Structure 1
Amino acid sequence: MNSTSTNDRFSHNRSILALLFIVPPSSIGAISSTVLAPGAIGQGIALGCWIWMLVLPIGWQLFIDRQPLKLRCSSHDGLLVGIILGAMMFGTIFASYWLIGRYWLDIPDIRARVSQMDMNVPLMVFGFGTFQTLINSFIEEYVWRWFVYHHCQILWSKAWAVWISAGFFTLHHIILLAAYCDDWRLVAIGSVAVFIAGGLWARCMKIYKSLLPSYVSHLAADLALQIVSWQILLG
C-alpha cells in the first residue's frame, strides 16, 4: 500500500471519528433537556453538550489536524446571496406561522412544557431569543458548516456532503420539534424545512468557502423563529 492511500485512509478514519464525536452530543443535549430531564438537570446536560460542541472543533483543528484557525470574509456576491436567502426564510417562517402554524399548534400545551423548563419568564424568553439569534446561529454555522461539512466532504463527494451534513444538522431539530409539537404534520414540515435550510447553508459554504452568507441568512431565520416564539409564549 503506497503512502498516498495510507494517508487517505488515515484521513477518512479521522473524519469518521470527528463526526462521531460531534454529531451525537447535539441530540443528547436536545433529548435530555426536553424529554429525559426537563428542568435544571436536563438544561445542565444540554449546556455541557453545547460547550463540548463549541470547544471540540477548535481543539480538533489545532491538535488533531494541526491546521491554523482561519476565518474568511465572503465576496459581495456571497453576502448578497446570504441577505436574499435570509429575507426569503424570514418571510416563509412568518407566513407559515400565520397561515398554518397558529391553527395547528397547541399553544397552551407548549407554554406548559416550557414552564416545566423554567423558561417562560419574559426576561428569560427575550434573553434566550437574543442569544439564539445573534450567537447560537453563528455557533451552529461554525459547527455544522465549517466543521461537519468539512469532514463530510472528506468521506463523500462535495455534492453528497452538502445533504449528508444537512441530515446530521436536522437530527436534533427533529427531537426538539417532536418535544413541543404533538401534531406529526408540523414535525414533518419543520424537519423538511430545517433539512432544506441546512442544505442551502452547506451549499453556500461549498461555493463561497465562508461562513458569512450562511450566518446572515441563519440569523434572519432565527430572528423570525424567535419573534414567533415570543408571540406563542408571551402572547
Structure 2
Amino acid sequence: MVELGNEWFTEKTTGGQDVRDSIPRAAREGGSKSWGELPAIALACVLPSLATWVYFVGLASGPPALQRWAYAALKTVQFTFPALWVWAVCRERPSWKSPRFGDLVAGLAFGLAVLAAGLVVYFCWLKPGGFLSAAVAPIYEKVSEFGVGGTWGFLLLAAFYSVIHSFLEEYYFRWFVFGRLSRLRPLGSAITLSGLVFMVHHVIVLGTYFGWLSVGTLLFSLAVAVGGGVWAWMYHRSGSLWGVWLSHLVVDAAIFIVGYDLIRPLLGR
C-alpha cells in the first residue's frame, strides 16, 4: 500500500534540526502561485461546516430522505474537491510513501491515550453527572434516520465512520487543508488554523446534540481542535497519513463506544 506524502520541503542542519519549519513555502520560494490558492483553501475550510449545517440545522425539519441526499451531495463535493484541485487545476503529482512502523506506533499510542482518557471522563464524570442525557433522543433520532434500529446496524455504522470516514477526513483536513496552509503560513500557525477548521463543523454536530453552551459541546469542541492540531503535527513530522489515520480511527471508535452506551436502551437487537 502507498500513501500521499507531505508536501513540506525540509532542510536539515548537520545537527539534524529542521531550520525551515517556521518559514512558509511560498515565502521560501519567493513565488506567488501558492498565494493564488487562497480561494481554494477558503472554500475547503467552509465546505465541511456548510454540509454539516445543511444536514443538522437547515434541513432539520425536512424529510429525512432530503436531508440524506443533500448531505451526501455536499460531502461528495467536499471530498472530491481536494483531488480535483491538486491533480486537475494545479497539475501536481504528489509523492507516495509506504507506512513506517514507527509512525503507526505513534499514531496508535496517541489514539489509545485519547480513547482511555475519553472513556474515563465519560464513565467517571459526564455520565454520572447527567451532562449528556439531553443528547440521547437526538442521537437516536439521527441514527434511526440511517436505518439503524439495532446493535448490529450501529456497529456497521461505527465501522464505516471509524475506518472509511476517518481516512477521508485525514486526507481532507491534514493532507489538503493543513498541507496547503503550510505553504503560506509558518508551521505553528498552519497547525492552529487547520485544527480550528477541523473543529468548526464538529461544533455544529455537538451543539445540535448537547446544546450550544453545554459542558459536552465545550469540552468536546476543545478536544477536537487540540486533536486536529496534534494530527497535523504528526503528519508534518512523518510525511504520512497512515499513523494519523490509525490514531483517528481509534478516537472515532471511542466516540461510538460512548454513543452506543448512551442509546443502548433504545436499540433493538
Q: Same fold (TM over 0.5)?
A: yes
Q: Is the 8 A contact 1:111 1:120 kept in 2?
A: no
The match for 2:255 is 225
Alignment of 1:80-95 (within 5 A): 80-95=105-120
The match for 2:96 among 44, 54, 71 is 71
Give the structure 1 partner of residue 138 of structure 2: 110
Aligned to 1:184: 214
Q: Is the 8 A contact 1:32 1:46 kept in 2?
A: yes
CA distance in 2, matches of 1:8, 1:211: 27
2:75 to 46, 50, 54: 50
**Offset at residue 112 of structure 1 (A):** 5.7
C-alpha change, 1:196 and 1:108, in structure 2 (3 Å) is: closer
Letter in 2 for 1:133: S
Give 1:35 shift: 1.4
Q: 2:65 aligns with which of 40, 44, 49?
A: 40
User: Structure 1 stretch 208-217 or stretch 45-54: which is displaced more?
Assistant: 45-54
Distance 1:101 1:12 in 2: 44
The structural deviation recorded for 1:69 is 4.2
Q: Percent identity?
A: 21
Q: Whose radius of gyration is greater, 1 or 2?
A: 2
| Alpha-carbon distance change, 231 to 5 in structure 1, aligned in 2, over 3 angstroms | closer
Is residue 2:52 matched to residue 1:30?
yes
CA contact (8 A) 2:140 2:263 kept: no
Q: Give the unaligned 5+ runs of structure 2.
A: 1-26
Mapped partners of 2:245, 2:48: distance in 1: 19
Contact 1:82 1:217 in 2 (8 A): yes
1:59-208 equivalence runs, <5 A: 59-102=84-127, 103-106=130-133, 107-111=135-139, 113-114=141-142, 117=145, 120-122=148-150, 123-182=152-211, 184-208=214-238
2:246 to 203, 212, 216: 216
Q: Between Structure 1 and Structure 2, how many residues are aligned?
A: 231
SS of the residue aligned with 2:33? helix
Return structure 1 stretches of 4+ with deviation > 4 angstroms.
Answer: 4-7
Name the amino acid aligned to 1:161.
A
Answer whether contact 1:32 1:43 (CA < 8 A) is retained: no
Cα distance in 2 for partners of 1:231, 1:125 equals 11
**Which stretch shifts more, 159-168 or 66-75?**
66-75
In structure 1, stretches of 5+ residues that fail to align are: none
Counterpart of 2:67 in structure 1: which amino acid?
G
1:77 Cα offset (Å): 2.2
Provide the secondary structure at the position in 2 that maps to 1:104: coil
Alignment RMSD, CA only? 2.2
User: How far did 1:111 drift?
Assistant: 4.5
The answer as to whether partners of 2:199 and 2:228 remain within 8 angstroms in 1 is yes
Deviation at 1:109, TM superposition (A): 3.2
Structure 2 counterpart of 1:217, which letter?
Answer: S
Q: Which residue of 2 aligns with 1:9?
A: 32
For residues 42 and 132 of structure 2, what CA distance do their matches in structure 1 show? 34
User: 1:115-140, CA deviations, whole angstroms, 9 ceiling, x for partnerless residues?
Assistant: 67455522543322111011001110
